[in-house]
A and B are shown apart, each in its own frame.
Chain A
């Protein structure tokens, strides 16, 4: 087991935003978190990353993700799109996680960055400037950075938002390869329910009053999933 949420409740200043979340992430898992805006997906992600403590219940981390070492892909900011930095500089910054206050990169760090760039197919871009890349390439670079921080479990926040259809399909296939070939467990928050369902193994659907957790098959057959998928079609 990599991570388990046991009746965890998260919120701010004593106000619960999302309550009683139960789910488990095994090695090789591919979990998609869906739900309307304002249901607490981002809050849950912060909880998983250890940025906020559960108000009740708990999160148990497995041996492989001790110290909450989870690779994270945040939602992109506008400032980043114009940022002068090479792909290498961006990916390398992922290794800082394991370092102390004063941190310089050594040879092993650079090797690690290259390995992860190779996994994401962006090695040839290593000297390119991040701002000159396409949206999809930028996401690949940021996932490579996340892998430098931790390669057992990735948390991806809206990875395909803002990408064109080709870029979206491309990014899904990259993530599938990471999951299948390298066994990286992935937790993905997504608005793109239709696109992501065929990709993932399990679904955590958060709505204002209930939480569904189960396999994709179960989700599609549940009244809950049918309603949401039907709703999404309009």
Chain B
């Protein structure tokens, strides 16, 4: 596997994919722990579809994809969080928004460029998607996401564990929820081109679930998520390169296997590792 890896590093586009992949996997894993525990997993899924819609429109207009989809997805994330407490139940709202954006994306694409290989790449992920500009933007934004996460770690824990208590303690809970939604939106947009709209949300959910099977402390779960996410990404990308499978699907496949193994280990050890 090491030799395949060395071979991969000879291609500039693969190096770009690796850099972005590592950063996005890290962001997704860190945020994922809070999102899964807060039962926000579906928001990630919804946002990735919105991102797909925005991306298709951007392509049709001849714009740089990230420049359009980033603000759109961030706005939708904020809106989704708002309606969660309103009249429309949040799961219904997410379903409506995600399928509409998917539909808009597909319609726009078929009217303009037609359903090409590119679209398939956006759906399931492609190693070829990352341009140089994308890489620079990805690096800046993921470092921002990771920094904010580390700086607000204790607060995020408190808000994740118990919103009522955090509120009574004078934490502005809605600010932290908003922060979480925005960071998630950024992560999804960055990861979507490589992982695919249909699969990016699994990058958020799987490592957190796997780690929760194994560990009983929040910090251990966060660290383990990051590690699991990176390992699965590397294995997935090598498989993708070796067998020409879509990147996103390969990474998710590895994640699934790891989750199943962790579930078995968790059952035997009763999740008592701290």
Contact call B162/A86, Cβ cutoff below 8 A:
no
Q: A83-B37, A93-B157, A131-B216 are in contact. Are A51 and B167 (CB under 8 A)?
A: yes
Contact with A85, one of B39, B165, B218, B271 (Cβ below 8 angstroms): B218
Q: Is A72 an interface residue (CB 8 A)?
A: yes
A contact residues around B38 at 8 Å (CB): 79
Q: Is A97 an interface residue (CB 8 A)?
A: yes
Contact call B37/A132, Cβ cutoff below 8 A:
no
Select from chain A the residue with minimum beta-carbon distance to B218. Answer: A85
Q: Is A21 an interface residue (CB 8 A)?
A: no
A10–B111 CA distance with the chains assembled, in angstroms: 57
* B-contact bits for A76-113, CB 8 A (1 contact / 0 none): 01011001111001101110110001111100000000
Contact with A84, one of B39, B151, B168, B212 (Cβ below 8 angstroms): B212
Output the least CB separation between B169 and chain A (Å): 4
Q: A51-B167, A129-B274 are in contact. Are A90 and B154 (CB under 8 A)?
A: no
Contact call A79/B216, Cβ cutoff below 8 A:
no
A43–B169 CA distance with the chains assembled, in angstroms: 17
A131–B273 CA distance with the chains assembled, in angstroms: 12
Output the least CB separation between B173 and chain A (Å): 10
Contact call B161/A80, Cβ cutoff below 8 A:
yes
Contact call A89/B217, Cβ cutoff below 8 A:
yes
Contact call A97/B274, Cβ cutoff below 8 A:
no
A residues 169-211 near B (Cβ < 8 Å) are: none
Q: Is A70 an interface residue (CB 8 A)?
A: yes
A94–B154 CA distance with the chains assembled, in angstroms: 10
Interface of A is mostly: mixed
A residues 14-43 near B (Cβ < 8 Å) are: none
Q: Is B90 an interface residue (CB 8 A)?
A: no
Q: Is A140 an interface residue (CB 8 A)?
A: no
Q: Is A65 an interface residue (CB 8 A)?
A: no
Contact with A96, one of B154, B164, B271 (Cβ below 8 angstroms): B154
* B-contact bits for A51-85, CB 8 A (1 contact / 0 none): 10000000000000000001011110101100111
Select from chain B the residue with minimum beta-carbon distance to A73. Answer: B165
B contact residues around A103 at 8 Å (CB): 154-155
Q: How many A-B residue pairs have CB under 8 A?
A: 93
Select from chain A the residue with minimum beta-carbon distance to B273. Answer: A129
* A-contact bits for B32-50, CB 8 A (1 contact / 0 none): 0000011100000000000
A contact residues around B162 at 8 Å (CB): 74, 77, 80, 93
A105–B155 CA distance with the chains assembled, in angstroms: 11
Contact call A85/B157, Cβ cutoff below 8 A:
yes
Contact call B168/A49, Cβ cutoff below 8 A:
yes
Q: Is B158 an interface residue (CB 8 A)?
A: yes
B contact residues around A104 at 8 Å (CB): 154
Q: Is B82 an interface residue (CB 8 A)?
A: no
Contact call B152/A132, Cβ cutoff below 8 A:
no
Output the least CB separation between B149 and chain A (Å): 12
* A-contact bits for B152-180, CB 8 A (1 contact / 0 none): 10110110011011111111000000000
B contact residues around A86 at 8 Å (CB): 216-218, 274
B39, B168, B215, B216: most-surrounded residue (chain A CB, <10 A): B168
Output the least CB separation between A149 and chain B (Å): 5
A contact residues around B152 at 8 Å (CB): 101-102
A sample of 21 inter-chain contacts (CB < 8 A) reads A51-B167, A70-B168, A72-B165, A72-B168, A72-B169, A79-B37, A83-B218, A84-B37, A85-B161, A85-B217, A86-B217, A93-B157, A93-B158, A93-B162, A94-B165, A96-B154, A102-B152, A129-B271, A132-B216, A149-B165, A149-B169
Apart from A96-B154, A97-B170, A129-B271, 12 more pairs, CB < 8 Å: A74-B165, A79-B38, A83-B218, A84-B221, A85-B218, A96-B155, A103-B155, A105-B154, A127-B274, A132-B216, A132-B271, A149-B165
